Chain A
Amino acid sequence: QSVLTQPPSASGTPGQRVTISCFGGSSDIGGNPVNWYQQLPGTAPKLLIYLNTQRPSGVPDRFSGSKSGTSASLAISGLQSEDEADYYCAAWDDSLNVVVFGGGTKLTVL
């Protein structure tokens, strides 16, 4: 069982906006930045959002992150077929001194 809680699936049609939630606690999301990873089918995960809202170079601005208290969200606007992937939230956990992950959300583009 993952420390952070994400919905197992999400879906949308091309052009739509979808959001994926991530719930944690005071020792992880509540006290540390949230990062999001995208894992395309058959590939390694890639950093998508860091420090709650920041995009690494090369990540389209269709992807955005937010955080409030002990929860965070990833929003994808103008959904495209190539966005179909698994998305994971993660944060440092101060009590465990480890990185904790959400269980992942499989995004389907209908």
Chain B
Amino acid sequence: QVQLVESGGGLVKPGGSLRLSCAASGLTFSDYYMSWIRQAPGKGLEWVSYISSSGDYINYADSVKGRFTISRDNAKNSVYLQINSLRAEDTAVYYCASLGRTGDLDYWGQGTLVTVSS
């Protein structure tokens, strides 16, 4: 049974930083591209970033480019999202998900809430 478990969310002041983690089990993690998607309160899904299985290809949404950094550790079956220079509009539940070869997000975690407020 595949499980993705996010952690690291919390309340942070504008301009602050957080590091989100996503621990995977039940799948051959090193075979999978991984992605972060976020959902602001009461809003729809917004893709944030993805990283290739080996970590050598990465892309970001324009809204987070230069502030967010995705990384992974295949030995620890984990993917991370370093989020810096946080803004109020970054307030959201952040989900990690595995990204299939045809663009399908086949497994999702339960999400971790990031709240940016002074």
Contact = CB atoms under 8 A, between A and B. Distances in A.
B45 A44 contact: no
- By DSSP majority rule, is chain B's interface helix, strand, loop, or mixed? strand
Nearest to A46: B108
Interface size class of B (residues with CB under 8 A): 20 to 34
Contacts of A33: 102-104
Contacts of A53: none
Contacts, number: 66
Interface residues of A, number: 26
Interface in B49-98: 50, 59, 61, 95
26 contacts: A32-B102, A33-B104, A37-B105, A44-B95, A44-B109, A44-B110, A45-B108, A46-B108, A47-B104, A47-B105, A50-B100, A50-B102, A50-B104, A51-B102, A51-B104, A88-B44, A88-B45, A92-B102, A92-B103, A97-B59, A99-B99, A99-B105, A100-B47, A101-B44, A102-B44, A103-B44
